[in-house]
Amino acid sequence: MVKRIDQVLDACPVMPVLVINDVKQARPIAEALVSNGVTTLEVTLRTPCAIEVIQEMAKVPGALVGAGTVLHGQHVRQAKAAGAQFVVSPGITTELVRSALAADMPILPGTATISDIMMGMDMGLNRFKFFPAVLNGGIPKLKAFSGVLGHTGLRFCPTGGIDGSTWKDWLQLPTVACVGGSWLTSGNATPEEVAKRAAALGLKKK
């Protein structure tokens, strides 16, 4: 499981958090991202069409599509059936983690405290989202977590309040595998605008 979630974390340094309201936009937005090197796509289960969006984005060559805002086991199973290859959650519960493990689904649960992380470690995880990253103390807090727990080999994807001007700062931390954020698609950006923002990251184009 750790190997598979690492494949997700290492696929791209930026994981866009996508809130897509129109399924017709799914493929053009995924293509705009993937063609600019942004290959890991977190589709939040916050819109009525989110499951269809996962199905559409999963058809885009080179896209590694996961479900975000996954809150419980039922979401895990829906996401898997739709073709999601990983799940991300804003928080952590035993029901959620056990459901993901039972479904053989790589999971990145949200953590904000050492106790959250310890709960995940108890269940065999050591890859976590740090959320909401900036409001929770930002880079200094994650450094403090890493000071205490870094020897365990844990890794994070900080998300929440990170944008095009700060994403690289987070990646300087040895425990940060990649960063998440909505800035590439926020404000109902068109596929053209998404492509422009993704290109500004300067990743290798596909």
The residues binding ligand 3PG (CB under 6 A) are 17, 44, 68, 131, 159-162, 180-183
For the bound state, the minimum distance from the C-beta of residue 188 to ligand 3PG, rounded and expressed in Å, comes to 14
For the bound state, the minimum distance from the C-beta of residue 190 to ligand 3PG, rounded and expressed in Å, comes to 18
Measure the CA dihedral 70/6/185/182, to 10°. Answer: 60
Q: Is 205 annotated in the active site?
A: no
The residue among 186, 140, 127, 134 whose CA lies nearest residue 160 is 134
Closest CB to ligand 3PG among 134 and 153? Answer: 134
C-alpha 47/C-alpha 25 separation (Å) is 13
Closest CB to ligand 3PG among 16 and 73? Answer: 16
For the bound state, the minimum distance from the C-beta of residue 75 to ligand 3PG, rounded and expressed in Å, comes to 14
Catalytic residue among 3, 24, 42, 205: 42
Closest CB to ligand 3PG among 104 and 165? Answer: 165
For the bound state, the minimum distance from the C-beta of residue 90 to ligand 3PG, rounded and expressed in Å, comes to 6
CA distances from 16 to 102, 164, 178, 179 (A): 26, 11, 10, 8
Q: Is 3 annotated in the active site?
A: no
Catalytic residue among 3, 80, 129, 192: 129
C-alpha 81/C-alpha 25 separation (Å) is 21
DSSP assignment of 128-152, as one string?
Answer: EEETTTTTTTHHHHHHHHHHHHGGG
Residues with catalytic roles: 42, 129
